Chains A and B, each alone.
Chain A
Amino acid sequence: MKDGQKINAEFDVFIQKELDNIQMSYDVGLWSELKQKLDDNDSSQNEPKENKYSNKINHLRYIIYLSLILHILLICFIFYQYYVKNESENKKHELPVIESYQMPEEGKSIQTQKEILPFTLEKDSMQEMSHDKNNDPQSIFSKEDIGYTKSNNEPLQDVHQDSFQQVKSLMPDLSHDTTAIKPDPDLRKKEEIKKKKKYIIW
């Protein structure tokens, strides 16, 4: 060790010894101040612990409620997607129920159980009907089925035409009979209203 360093070390020891000899008078007030601070700290530490704990529980509760609500919403959405929506779509594509179709009498009528068409349809209504049938891909009935094949919608002339004429000649003339069934002039309008109602329902 160099002389300079030795002197420095001795000086430091001297300082330390001098400092060790110093006696400080005890201040009682300091302890009471410190004690007060410690007591305050203890009391304040006990209260927030409970608050912190209850806050955590509340927080957890909110999370559970929120997740529950979200799950319910999710289930509702899935139900809507897979059941309600699909069902409604299926209904849209479902073919309209035609309960039974009677083959029309020669040149006279198309008859269903629900509705009775006039014996002789006007030309316009027949055209409209054939037009509707052409546009409807789901139609299961061909023109032959209902007895109209010609563009002017006249009754099909087949092999039975002669016999039909013979039978007709034997039948009494009912043109002046007021009790005979006559075509309803408002039938077409009624039909249209019915059709519209059907579409609205679907």
Chain B
Amino acid sequence: MFISEEIFQGCVSGDRKAQEKLFQTCYNESLKLILRYIPSQEDAKDVLIQAYFKVFTKINHFSGDYTNLFGWIKRILINQSLDFLKSVSGNKIQDIPAIQEMLYDETEEEKADDFILTLIQQLPEMHRKVFNLYAIDGFSHKEIAVICQISESNSKYYVHTARKILQEKIFKVELP
């Protein structure tokens, strides 16, 4: 993804055209990222708007190089998604379903373009959250423990379980 300096400067000065350009450029990656955390399309789009509103209003605070702008935007998108999940689920403790239940309770998936995304979305919330943070977005178990307010060993457990579920489901679709 390429974000030019012109677009960046335009966004800093509040130019709507530059902002639209940045939104268009980052739209695909941004929505995919949010959808990994939030399965609902409607909710994901709401979160996307809120996140980009934050991006455009706080872009003056971005002190790094414009080539790293998407890294900063990505962090905002993740935080916004996690905040949304927090507000939806509140502080209620979710029961962790048994692995066997998670593996075989789901209907068989057909291989579509976004079938991996669908499989990730079907993971239980905490598994999905921790797996996304660790395996795809590159957070450490220590950081995840702080973000999700769990222990590091719990984080490792969630990643391990999520991988196992995904592998089983992928093999099932690939090798029916």
Contacts and interface: CB of A to CB of B under 8 A. Distances in A.
B107 interface: no
A38 interface: yes
Given A22-B114, A23-B28, A24-B32, A12 B135 contact: yes
Contacts of A33: 49
Contacts of A18: 116
A175 B172 CA distance: 157
Nearest to A37: B53
Interface string A160-201: 000000000000000000000000000000000000000000
A22 B117 contact: yes
Given A22-B114, A31-B20, A31-B24, A37 B166 contact: no
B116 A38 contact: no
A41 B53 contact: yes
A5 B165 CA distance: 17
Nearest to B53: A37
Contact of A38 (B27, B36, B53, B114): B53
A202 interface: no
B53 A34 contact: yes
Interface residues of A, number: 22
B16 A35 contact: yes
B57 interface: yes
A19 B28 CA distance: 11
A90 interface: no
Contacts, number: 64
A23 B52 CA distance: 19
Interface string B31-56: 11001100000000100110011001
B41 to A, nearest CB: 10
Given A24-B27, A26-B27, A34 B136 contact: no
B116 A19 contact: yes
A15 B166 contact: yes
Contact of B136 (A16, A22, A26, A37): A16
A11 B167 contact: yes
Contacts of B116: 15, 18-19, 22
Contacts of A24: 27-28, 31-32, 35
Interface in A17-49: 18-19, 21-24, 26-27, 30-31, 33-35, 37-38, 41-42
B32 A26 contact: no
Nearest to A23: B28
B66 interface: no
A86 interface: no
B53 A27 contact: no
A21 B113 contact: yes
B163 interface: yes
A102 interface: no
Contacts of B32: 19, 22, 24
Closest 8 CB pairs of A and B: A18-B116, A12-B135, A24-B31, A22-B114, A24-B28, A34-B49, A37-B53, A34-B52
6 contacts: A11-B166, A19-B36, A22-B32, A22-B117, A30-B23, A38-B53
Interface of A: 8, 11-12, 15-16, 18-19, 21-24, 26-27, 30-31, 33-35, 37-38, 41-42
Given A23-B28, A26-B27, 16 more contacts: A8-B163, A11-B163, A12-B135, A19-B32, A22-B32, A26-B24, A26-B28, A30-B23, A30-B48, A31-B20, A34-B49, A35-B19, A35-B20, A37-B53, A38-B53, A38-B56
